[in-house]
Chains A and B, each alone.
Chain A
Amino acid sequence: MVASLFHPLNIFLLGLGGGFVIPLLYRLGKAWLHAGFWLALAGIVAVSGVSLFDVYRSGTPIEVLTAGFAPPLSINLRFGLWEGFFAVPVGLVAMLGALHLWDRLKGNYGALLLYLILVMGIDGMVMTRDLFNLFVFLEIVSIATYGLLALDRTPAAIAAAFKFIMATVIASTFLLLGTVLLYYVTGTLNIDTLIAERQQITGPIGATALLMVLGCLIIELKPFPANGWGLDVYETAPSGVASLVSVGVSAGVFFALVKLLPLFEAQLGLIAICGGITFLFSNLIGCTQTKVQRLLGYSSISQMGLMLLALALLTEIGASASIPLVVGGLFINHLLAKAGLFWLAGVLRQDDVEAHASLGGRPLLLGLLALFMVAIAGLPPFPGFWAKWELVMQLTGMGRLPWVALILAGSLLEAAYMFNWFVRALRPSDERAGEGPDLIALLPVYGVALLLVGAGYLAARMSGAGQAWLFAPLLVGLALYTLDRLPGRVEGVLTLVAVALAGGWLAWSAEGIAWLFAALLLAGSLVIAAAGLYRRDRRPGYYPMLAILLISIPALLRSSTSLEFFFSWEIITLASCFLIAKGRGAGPHVLTFLLFSLVSAFFLLAGFAGIAALSGTTSLSALVTSGPDATVAFVLLAVGFLIKAGAIGVHVWLPGAYAEADDDFTAMLSAVVSKVAMFGLLIGTYLATRSEVSIEMAHGMAWVGMLTTIAGALLALRQSDFKLLLAFSSMSQLGYIVTAIALMSHLGWVTALYLVANHMMVKGILFLAVAGIIWRTGTRDFAGTGGLARAMPVSFVLVAFAILSMSGLPPLMGFGGKWLLLSAMAEKGWTWLALAGLVATFLGFLYMIRLVAGLFLGVPPAGQARAREVPPTLIAPQLLLAAGILVLSLYPKLLMDPVSAAIDPQFAATLVWEGKSLYTIYGYWNPTPVMIAAVAAAAVLGIAAWLVYRGGAGRRTGSLSRFYGYYRSVLERSLPPVATGFWNGVTGATLAAAATVRLLYTGNGQTYALYVLVYFLALYAASLGPAGFWVGS
């Protein structure tokens, strides 16, 4: 009884029967009508859900026979796992979509009827095993879509619907003709028989018939450039209908293609090319789009392209085991996230990205928007992330590198325009946010968001990364988010406790160098996060995100596979991005930060995939053991980490992000978060220890590091904004660490770790002190400060202490590190590098003096408000960090012994080093002479600079601030912003290309119909060659 109630055939009974009954119910009254509609729709979903459960439990698909005959005499349908996987989510989304569209649907029985028929038709396309039946269901779906498109009566919407009809009737004509010709050739319409007798479909008629079927399915998926008709509908249709076309109808068509794919074995490459072109170009053109629904349209189309590409390529390379995760993951990701975005756009009534509809005051809506965008961009923890990872792994494994590049490029473009929307929504709006949408309207959006989270977890399980610890940061963040209404400081304290517990637990399981990093960074992040308590205000969403960020760092450090590493890496990126976005003026810099972070992540992904392809495992230990062919992978990884480290040329994201983030969060970014890239670089460099070529590459990396140091110092000298100065100083100091890592000797690495610890504590103090100064003086410019030593004595002493440690002068812990670096370079024969190091030392001294003098010395500027010392909440963390510096200065063994122990086991075997313990090395290398030489050189350069200044502008007045002013203008004149100019050029060129390509979309329906025809002919020619057009063959 129950079994027959939930038989899949009832889907059609409910759909068609409901469709017929609805006009009758309409006569009976609204309540009857609505009850009937929901009963039928919920029935369809329930039937498919129960059937899926049955299939899952029994492991055998449900075969549905009709008319009392067995196929091929009758039409048969099948409901297996794959079918259920498509039908159930589509049904759920359709139900939520009906809720979203309810205002439009409820009064219109025709629309209710069409909606039911549409959902049933999609299920039919998914389940049927008969080719002609597929055509019938496609037409049912199409006609229902046409009807629903008529819901909006604006001329643009009607025109778009007509264009849609013109294009799709041509496409379905191909399907009809193809079906009939296939029947003519084979004598059957049964899909299974057709697939079994694939070899018999030969000759010109058979080949043409196949291409017609394929052409229809591809065109229905809206391939570039034959897709203007689809875009127009996405733009103008009601959001609920557009989402249904984007996710529901496309799902049906896509599944039809999945089903028929064995017929198209010869065309797999062609399908992949169609998908790839669509993915790349849709995302490119999307970059110039500001209308929200059209933007989502470009994204929808590109996602379909990606799915096509993935399906065809994975089938071609024989990786069919990955198809459920990749294609299924991409499908469910697109289905839920895109539906959510369309509905959200509809609820917000936002037509244009540029429209002044700020979500700044509505954290919940902003959160939803962010969630969907993160999913669409293929970032964790959503299914798209796991799918893309697997896809890239498989493709790299088979050497399909151009495809990987295409996928990553397209993903980057897509993230660019999607997050552009997000950043615009972030803009703080002056006008009071009006009455927000009510809960009922948002219910469907919440629904898909929840489903998306669940799907993400399932996909993680499928990828073999479902361990609880991996998700600990997100869970803690979620728990804290529920407490977000507590007073700011209470929540801050809770965050600290949570980070200490969860972070400590994660750090405990880390090993070797990773453990060292975890302990160091966790301690540092707790101290610096505690400083945030100086702010009394509520900071909605800040603390949960901070907890996610800080716990993800030890999670990354305890990863044992590259997938876990990459997952945490992306979470760190996202959390940083959202935290930076909390800064008042951060708007435009958030996007830059995110895009450079994504480029970096994509390089890492490619690098990890390269290693996995070589070693056959994703275990991070493969980094140590893989052979000499890993050079390419090493370069990819190094580039990825260097981008994130703000190396020269790709540093353009750094100043804006550092300067515009909240002042206390900048301290976190610079002191703690930047070190994650350093850790990555360190473990990535293991790869390079294997081959001569890589050693040369490491030499290159050392130069990158040194040039970064010099460029960072020069840029710091150019600033009159002292927070920016510190930002560039961070870049400069990270350059030293990169150079130290590139030395690839025991000594270099110990120095690197030493610098990491030093920089963490120094920059923590400096940025926190600067936060206090900005707070007290209200300015970030040297022009508004000076002479603060009297007003803020403790801050002054702390800054001076930190600067001393950063400069490398004795007796603090910075002493030793830098000078050892210089002598190690000289020892290695890298003379030029050592000389460059001298210049860097000099420039470093210059900006450090500038910072201390400009803030604390001299006379206070006129009109400066009377500043007071900052409260203990801000001083105490700085004191703790200073104590850390002091302890490590007095007892360096505390750090060096664990470092030595951590490095030795893996390293002794890989690199020549003289078997001495580190302590003896430090005893053996005496840094003092090198330091004296370097300081002397710096002094000589300094005197020379002073003389030049006196000889030029400073003839009369020789004040320090004018000295810096003079050189600032010299630097401004002599150092054009090459990197910024270059990246602006890249952006401009991309946008210009997009603006040119999109001219294809003339808006004329007839032109679009012609594109469809030409597209088919192109497919035909590409598949059969010019001979295909020769009738006589």
Chain B
Amino acid sequence: MTTGLPVSTILLITGFCLALIGLWGMLTHRNIMRIIIGFALIDTGLHIVMVATGYITGGTAPIIDRALTTAAATERAIDPIPSALVVTAIVIGFSVTAVMLGFAIRLYAARKTLSIDAFTESKW
């Protein structure tokens, strides 16, 4: 690989941009489906950021075997913990998205519309 931006930086930037796009979408789009998509984007962006934080330039997979001794692992292996966290976070994000979609179906059934502006009966 040639020099330039390390892949983790690229991932970080991409992830944050994706999350910000998602946030923007969540706050500007009136359609509940788009709001949910916005959330999914935030989530995905953050997952990318998480993975990127564990990355070590030129590192290898953290599998300790003949190729990677325990001593070398602390220097050369990428940090496995963020990856493990990401797996959990993905599962959680998935279930939250599913719940949101479930509510979207019920909201549509109630009002025959998916505009968030139609659901303001309780206020003050």
Q: Which of A361-369, A729-737, A984-992, A1000-1008 faces chain B?
A: A1000-1008
**Residues in chain B near residue A176, CB distance under 8 A:** 46, 50, 89
Contact B96 A143 (CB under 8 A): yes
The reply to whether the CB of A78 lies closer than 8 angstroms to some CB of chain B is no
**Chain A: CB-nearest residue to B100:** A165
The reply to whether the CB of B4 lies closer than 8 angstroms to some CB of chain A is no
**Residues in chain A near residue B27, CB distance under 8 A:** 1006, 1009-1010, 1013
Given known contacts A180-B49, A999-B124, A143 and B119 CB-to-CB distance under 8 angstroms: no
Chain A CB within 10 A, most for which of B27, B85, B119: B119
Complex CA–CA separation, A236 to B110 (angstroms): 15
In the complex, per-residue mask of A170-184: 1 if CB is within 8 Å of any chain B CB, else 0:
100100110111011
The reply to whether the CB of B65 lies closer than 8 angstroms to some CB of chain A is no
Contact A147 B99 (CB under 8 A): yes
Contact B30 A1006 (CB under 8 A): yes
Number of interface residues of B (CB under 8 A): 39
The reply to whether the CB of B122 lies closer than 8 angstroms to some CB of chain A is yes
**Residues in chain B near residue A1003, CB distance under 8 A:** 119-124
Q: Write the nearest CB–CB distance from B26 to chain A, whole angstroms.
A: 6
The reply to whether the CB of A507 lies closer than 8 angstroms to some CB of chain B is no
Contact B85 A132 (CB under 8 A): yes
**Residues in chain A near residue B104, CB distance under 8 A:** 162
Q: Write the nearest CB–CB distance from A992 to chain B, whole angstroms.
A: 14
**Residues in chain A near residue B63, CB distance under 8 A:** none
Number of interface residues of A (CB under 8 A): 50
Residue from A173, A181, A285 within 8 A of B53 (CB atoms)? A181
The reply to whether the CB of B69 lies closer than 8 angstroms to some CB of chain A is no
Complex CA–CA separation, A162 to B88 (angstroms): 23
Residue from A132, A158, A998, A1002 within 8 A of B88 (CB atoms)? A132
Q: Write the nearest CB–CB distance from B121 to chain A, whole angstroms.
A: 5
The reply to whether the CB of A139 lies closer than 8 angstroms to some CB of chain B is yes
In the complex, per-residue mask of A993-1033: 1 if CB is within 8 Å of any chain B CB, else 0:
00000110111111001100100000000000000000000
A/B pair count, beta carbons within 8 Å: 118
The reply to whether the CB of A228 lies closer than 8 angstroms to some CB of chain B is yes
Complex CA–CA separation, A173 to B16 (angstroms): 12
The reply to whether the CB of A828 lies closer than 8 angstroms to some CB of chain B is no
Contact A155 B121 (CB under 8 A): yes
The reply to whether the CB of A930 lies closer than 8 angstroms to some CB of chain B is no
Complex CA–CA separation, A169 to B53 (angstroms): 22
The reply to whether the CB of A156 lies closer than 8 angstroms to some CB of chain B is yes
Complex CA–CA separation, A901 to B91 (angstroms): 80
Contact B46 A1005 (CB under 8 A): no
The reply to whether the CB of B56 lies closer than 8 angstroms to some CB of chain A is no
Chain A CB within 10 A, most for which of B95, B107, B117, B123: B123
Contact A150 B120 (CB under 8 A): no
Contact A228 B50 (CB under 8 A): no
Contact B92 A184 (CB under 8 A): no
**Chain A: CB-nearest residue to B43:** A173
Contact B122 A232 (CB under 8 A): yes
Q: Write the nearest CB–CB distance from B101 to chain A, whole angstroms.
A: 11
Q: A156-B121, A180-B85, A1004-B117 are in contact. List 8 more A-B contacts (CB 8 A).
A: A132-B85, A150-B103, A153-B106, A173-B19, A289-B124, A1006-B30, A1009-B27, A1013-B27
A residues contacting B by CB (< 8 A) are 132, 136, 139, 142-143, 146-147, 150, 153, 155-156, 158-163, 165-166, 169-170, 173, 176-177, 179-181, 183-184, 189, 228, 231-232, 235-236, 285, 288-289, 294, 998-999, 1001-1006, 1009-1010, 1013
Chosen A-B contacts, 7 in total, with CB atoms closer than 8 Å, are A150-B102, A155-B107, A159-B119, A169-B96, A183-B81, A183-B82, A1006-B27
